Amino acid sequence: MLRIPRKSETLRRPPRLSETAHPRGQVIWRSTEHRRWDRLVATHHYLSFRCLFGQALRHVDTWEGTWIALLGWQSAALQLNARDR
C-alpha cells in the first residue's frame, strides 16, 4: 500500500554547490594522506595504478571535508628508449 508522506516528513531539497562552501584544493604532504591517495587511485582509476615515479605531486580537492577529486603529476622519465631514438 502506497503511503503519502505528511508535509512534515517530506525531504528538503539538497543544497546546491553554489549555496554551500566551495571546493578547496590542496597539495598533500603527509605519508598517511599519500597512502590514502594511492589506494583510492588504484581502486577507482580505469587504467589501474601502481605508483608515481620520480618527483611527484599529489593534489586533492575537498568539499565539506570529503575528498571529491584526486590529481597527480610526476616528472618525465629521464631515459626512455622508445622516445630517445
- Mean pLDDT of all residues belonging to the chain: 79
Read off the pTM: 0.63
Q: What is the mean pLDDT of each run of 10 residues along the chain (85 residues)?
A: 56 60 83 91 86 87 87 84 79
Residue 65 DSSP class: T
pLDDT score at 72: 92
Cα–Cα dist 24/60, whole Å? 8
Cα–Cα dist 58/72, whole Å? 5
Angstrom distances, CA of residue 44 to CA of 10, 40, 51: 35, 6, 14
pLDDT score at 46: 84
pLDDT score at 64: 80
Q: Are 13 and 47 in contact (CB under 8 A)?
A: no
